Amino acid sequence: MSFDTVEKSSLQSALTKLTQSTKEEAGNSLISEATNAAMNSGKSVYNAVGQLTDVVGVHLPKAEVEAPSDVTMLSGRWWAREAGSMAVTLPLVLLTHKGISRLTEPLAASALEGSAAKAWTIAPQKLALANLTMTGAAYEGIFKPSADNGSSLFANRSKQGVEGGLGFLAMGLVSNKIGSFMGRTAIEGEVPSIAARIARTALPGLGGGAAYGFSETQAKSIFDGNGPAGFKVSLDASLKGAVLGATLSSVGMFRTDSYTAASRETAAKSDILNRTAAERTMSEKSTDNPATNPAPNPANDLLSGLKRDGNLTTDAANTLALKAGRTSTEGSRLASEGEHQAALVQYGQALKDLVTGRGADHPSVANLLSDMARSDMFLGNNARSVQSMESALRINKNAYGEHSPQVAENYDQLSAVYQKGGNFNQAANAMEKSIEARRGAADAGLIDNGSQYVNVLRSHLAQLASLFESAGNSARAQQVRESIPPPPPGEIVPRQ
């Protein structure tokens, strides 16, 4: 072997060792960056809590938080630092959100569409945005230390709460808009790929999180008297917020809050992809056995004249169902903005397509009729609203049975319509049937009879007592109040 060959081999060996050493040092550096970020975040939270305990006379030693060094945005060290910080931030945000949700649980139960009379006046999206706003305010107000600027702790924490509340409100609004847009622009007949599902989960979170970072930073800078934050600071805050938003979205924090429109599209596709054998049997019965499934009430102008087209191919029927899902999504958007007359136009077209493709006794028709009844009620068309709810009840009783969550929700909505029209006796009768259906569903194991069920039952019984009182039947109202079960152990339930 020549000298040149030996020298070349030695040089290659040295370069290999140097490269491996550099990689190991880089890896250790990233791990150290993440660890230091997590420790600093933890110390910051500890100091924030310590400031609060000082108020009650419990003095905790202050932890020294290291000043972070400058790093290039989106570099490896930047990502490592965000990962470490997220390990502390994420559990606290989720814990705060869960606490806020538990506090508003009785209201949330009534805000879920169809679960109680209040569902007609409280939009679930608004309640979700309120929960997000309170989460941001509570998180910033509790877990973020106050600066020593001469102001009182209460003033500082209140300002931080406002900043966090505004940021999380922006997060919810933007993520909801992105989720709604993605639901409305879904490709007809498309079966979502894994990548598409990930995008539908991540993109609303990314956009909402970026809005949170930007809004929170701008609010802080303005409230501190420094004017709007600069571009670089805003960009860094937006990127960090996007990471938080995407993470929160991936764990489902926005799923029920912000995907109202997208959920209808998903439901329409699930109707094609995941229909159970029982549903298929039910659908065949509704088409082939009119004796078992009677025709819609001719007096109901929403269903009269509509029928299933038996000559449609499966693909054509599925296409109509998807089209109906998109049209009803647009109707829901209009209804959420108070445009109920325009919403009814969209609902009417969706109903025509859905009945043509699925038949007048399909459960999806009942859901659409419930939406139409809601808009009709807001417009004062109570008679037609009642007709729609009675048709929805007939469909769901046939599909799911008298004692089922679906029937209970329909009775809730029917009670709300009667109540709005001042027919308190009829509203009370519908509410009683709702309670009976819900209890039967719990006995049959169709719904969990745990603490949430008990709280919903308590809320319904309290509403029933109020309806009897409004109807002038004080004795019956008192009987109902006495039958209200105690709250679940360990839970604080607002006074009825």
CB 248 within 8 A of CB 93: yes
- How many percent of the chain have pLDDT more than 70? 74
- 278-482 folds as 1.25.40
Q: How does pLDDT run across 230-286, given as a tens digit for each residue?
A: 898 889 889 988 888 888 877 766 643 333 333 333 333 444 443 333 344 444 443
The number of beta carbons lying within 10 Å of the beta carbon of residue 279 is 14
What single letter denotes the amino acid at residue 14? A
Q: How does pLDDT run across 27-37, given as a tens digit for each residue?
A: 558 888 888 88
pLDDT at 130 over 90: no
Mean pLDDT (whole number) for 203-217: 88
For residue 47, the model assigns a pLDDT of 87
- How many percent of the chain have pLDDT more than 90? 14
Q: What is the rounded CA–CA span in Å between residue 467 and residue 470?
A: 5
For residue 101, the model assigns a pLDDT of 78
Q: What is the rounded CA–CA span in Å between residue 64 and residue 286?
A: 71
Q: What is the rounded CA–CA span in Å between residue 351 and residue 295?
A: 16
Residue ranges in 192-313 assigned as alpha helix (H): 194-223, 231-250, 255-258, 260-273, 277-288
70 — pLDDT class (breaks 50, 70, 90)? confident
Q: Which of 395, 473, 394, 397 is nearest to 429 (CA)?
A: 473
For residue 334, the model assigns a pLDDT of 87
pLDDT at 218 over 70: yes
390 — pLDDT class (breaks 50, 70, 90)? very high
CB 167 within 8 A of CB 219: yes
pLDDT at 128 over 80: no
Q: How does pLDDT run across 359-368, given as a tens digit for each residue?
A: 888 888 999 9
For residue 257, the model assigns a pLDDT of 36
Q: How far is CA 245 from CA 208, 211, 366, in A?
A: 6, 9, 35
**Of the ranges 85-89, 98-102, 180-184, which is most confident?**
85-89
335 — pLDDT class (breaks 50, 70, 90)? confident
Mean pLDDT (whole number) for 150-165: 88
**pLDDT averaged over the chain?**
76
What are the sequence ranges of the domains in the chain? 49-59+81-257, 278-482
Positive or negative, the Cα torsion across 158, 160, 163, 167? negative
For residue 490, the model assigns a pLDDT of 58
DSSP annotation of 116: S
